Structure 1
Amino acid sequence: MRKKLVIVSILLCLINSSLASAQVSHFEDPRLTLSTVEADWSIKTDKTERPSVGASVATLLKTEDELQFQGELAAIEGNEGLVGFAFIEAPVSLDLSEYQYIEFYAKSKDPRVVYTLTLKDEQAQQDAGTLTFEQEFVVGTEWTKVKLPLSHFQARIRGRVVDRFQLDLGQVRSLSFQINRSKQEADSPIPLEFALDVGSEVLVTNQD
Structure 2
Amino acid sequence: MKKKLVVASILLCLMNSSLASAEVNHFEDPRVTLSTVEADWSIKTDKTERPQVGASVATLLKAENELQFQGTLAAIEGNGGLVGFAFVETPLSQDLSQYKYIEFYAKSKEARVVYTLTLKDEQTQQDAGTLTFEQEFVVGTDWTKVKLALSEFQPKIRGRLVDSFQLDLKQVRSLSFQINRSQQEPDSPIPLEFGLDVGSEVLVTNQE
| TM category, shorter | over 0.9
The corresponding residue for 2:153 is 153
Give per-residue Cα distances to partners, 1:27-80, cap 9 Å, x unaligned: 333211000000000000001221010000000000110000000000000011
Offset, 1:26: 4.9
CA deviations on 1:86-145 (whole Å, 9 max, x unpaired) are: 000001111111000000000000010000000001111111111100000000100000
Asked whether 1:129 is paired with 2:129, we answer yes
For 1:6 and 1:167, locate their aligned partners in 2 and report how far apart those are by CA, in whole Å: 58
How far apart are residue 25 of structure 1 and its match? 4.1
* CA–CA separation in structure 1 for the residues paired with 2:153 and 2:18: 39
Give the letter aligned to residue 86 of structure 2.
Answer: A
CA apart distance, 1:24: 1.9
Tell me, in whole angstroms, the C-alpha distance in 2 between the residues paired with 1:190 and 1:65: 31
Residue number in structure 1 paired with 2:178: 178
Distance 2:121 2:8 in 1: 52
Q: Secondary structure at the match of 2:54?
A: coil
In structure 2, C-alpha distance between the alignment counterparts of 1:166 and 1:15, rounded to whole Å: 47
Aligned to 2:206: 206
Is contact 1:117-1:134 (8 Å) kept?
yes
SS of alignment partner, residue 11 of structure 2: helix
Equivalent in the alignment of 1:75:
75
Give the AA of the match of 2:175.
L
2:10 is aligned with 1:7? no
2:185 alignment partner, SS class: coil
Tell me by how many angstroms 1:14 deviates.
1.9
State the match for 2:139 in structure 1: 139
Give yes or no for contact 1:107–1:141 (8 Å, CA) kept in 2. yes
Instruction: Note if contact 1:117-1:178 (Cα within 8 Å) is conserved in structure 2.
Output: yes
Residues 107 and 169 of structure 1: CA distance in aligned 2, closer, same or farther (over 3 Å): same
Distance, in Å, in 2 between the alignment partners of 1:101 and 1:4 is 51
- Structure 1 unmatched ranges of 5 or more: none
Provide the rounded CA distance (Å) in 1 between the counterparts of 2:168 and 2:5. Answer: 54
Does residue 117 (structure 1) correspond to residue 117 (structure 2)? The answer is yes
| Structure 2: distance between partners of 1:23 and 1:110 | 46
Cα RMSD after superposing both structures: 1.3
Counterparts of 1:37 and 1:206, CA distance in 2: 22
Is the CA contact 1:28–1:207 (under 8 Å) kept in the aligned structure 2? no
**Number of residue pairs aligned between Structure 1 and Structure 2:** 208
Percentage identity across aligned positions?
A: 84
